[in-house]
Amino acid sequence: TWSGVPQGPPDAILGITEAFKKDPSGEKINLGVGAYRDDKGKPTAEQQVVQQNMDKEYAGITGVPDFGSAAALLAYGPDSAPLKEGRIAMTQSISGTGALRIGGAFLHRFFPGAKAIYIPTPSWANHKAVFSDSGLEVKQYRYYNKDTIGLDFDGMVEDIKKMPKGSMILLHACAHNPTGVDPTEQQWRSISDAVKEGGHYPFFDMAYQGFASGDTDKDAFALRHFIKEGHQPCLAQSFAKNMGLYGERVGAFSVVTASPEEKARVDSQVKILVRPLYSNPPVHGARIASTILKDPALNKQWLGEVKGMADRIIEMRALLKENLEKLGSKHSWNHITDQIGMFAYTGLNAEQMTKLAEEHSVYATKDGRISVAGITSQNVGRLAEAIYKVKG
Ligand code: PMP
């Protein structure tokens, strides 16, 4: 029956972890996956959830209501007009990926006009698959300039202006994955204007709120600015990284609508989409997240921890750059500290990345992306030496 099923390629990132595990070196470094583990608040919140001895009944189709309202408040902010006016349709999702997937399905079914969505070049490797599996045509806009290892701002705005009127555009809200290159607030303003001029529809992917600057409000700048400017975007949120809830799969998909009445219609259709996909989402992780968001003491502790994570990452970037400069590298490493979030785009090519793994036991993806979360004050010196040896 399945003789016609071809062997698919292995997942690029999971393959790195396997190679890392096989390496016998005692000094090996894994900078492949983006995972940060240094959280203390989560076990406290989880204890609270367990102690409450809650039932294991089904949640509704759109999930744990307390979670949805808390997630919306975190993303849109207490001053958000659409939030206060009750015109944001919200559903809990299977983490950020599930939010993007429901979003893709919703846009495919209801977005008026052409069904193409534009994603940045490059983008998170899963975006293309998620949207094309949702039935959308996936196109790209310029984003990264490999000469400056920074944002190709002019190219990006030019491409936005060239898109057919009323196109869908995916924007990374903060801490762009894989490049770590984010627009400045001023650049976001111009991007918002260009999107508005084209009558395009923005879809924000916010998988790292708090992780970029350490401040959850600051990281929501782009989303909130677009809304102030009159856009009505949709949004995918993930609590995998900022709460360390990776395997619990806690996320949310929301749509800003024009009125409470429109919201009710959108809500009803999101439910109709979710029901045959997975019926309703798991409750445990959402309860942990809503406890963290709603309990004032736990919330304060969590915000402190998010800031601690972001600050540690910013510190490791500075240390890596400093070490490379001390070694006498003739290249500029300013991009390492200009970039933001969990990932740094080193500018190393595939050949140099292979050398890093084979000769120095440093594992990361071939596109030159390293997970800064995997750098420590203990291994940064060795990492800098390895990069210096392969690149100079
Ligand atoms: N979007 C981006 C840009 C990401 O980097 C990630 C995580 N790697 C996700 C979405 C979704 O992750 P998850 O499904 O684990 O929340």
Q: What is the pLDDT of residues 366-391, one digit of tens each?
A: 999 999 988 998 999 999 999 999 99
Q: Which residues are catalytic?
A: 124, 205, 241
> What separation in Å is there between the alpha carbon of 107 and the centre of ligand 1?
19
What is the share, in percent, of the chain residues with pLDDT greater than 90?
83
Q: Which atom of ligand 1 is nearest to the CA of 100?
A: 10
Q: How far apart are CA 368 and CA 345, in angstroms?
A: 6
- Please state whether 303 falls in left (phi above 0), alpha (psi between -120 and 50) or beta: alpha
Residue 282: is its pLDDT beyond 90? yes
**Fold category of 45-294 in CATH:** Aspartate Aminotransferase; domain 2 (3.40.640)
**Quick check: CB of 254 below 6 Å from ligand 1?**
no
In which residue ranges of the chain is CATH 3.40.640.10 found?
Answer: 45-294
Q: Are 167 and 118 in contact (CB under 8 A)?
A: yes
Residue 63: is its pLDDT beyond 80? yes
Above 0.90 for ipTM, yes or no?
yes
Q: Are 92 and 64 in contact (CB under 8 A)?
A: yes
Give domain 12-34+308-391's CATH number out of 3.90.1150.10, 3.40.1280.10, 3.40.640.10, 3.40.50.1010: 3.90.1150.10
- The pLDDT assigned to 42 comes to 63
Residue 41: is its pLDDT beyond 60? no
- Rounded mean pLDDT, 129-145: 97
- Token pair 């010196």 is found at 381
Counting ligand 1 atoms within 8 A of each CB, the residue from 94, 124, 176 with the most, and so the one to mutate, is 124
Q: How far apart are CA 218 and CA 1, in angstroms?
A: 54
> What separation in Å is there between the alpha carbon of 331 and the centre of ligand 1?
31
In which residue ranges of the chain is CATH 3.90.1150.10 found?
Answer: 12-34+308-391
**Quick check: CB of 178 below 6 Å from ligand 1?**
no
Q: Which residue's CA is minimally distant from atom 1 of ligand 1?
A: 207
> Helix %, strand %, coil % for the chain, to 5?
50, 15, 35
- Token pair 């609270």 is found at 48
The least confident of 207-211, 234-238, 308-312 is 308-312
> What distances in angstroms separate CA 294 from CA 38, 45, 74, 106, one per listed residue?
21, 10, 10, 29
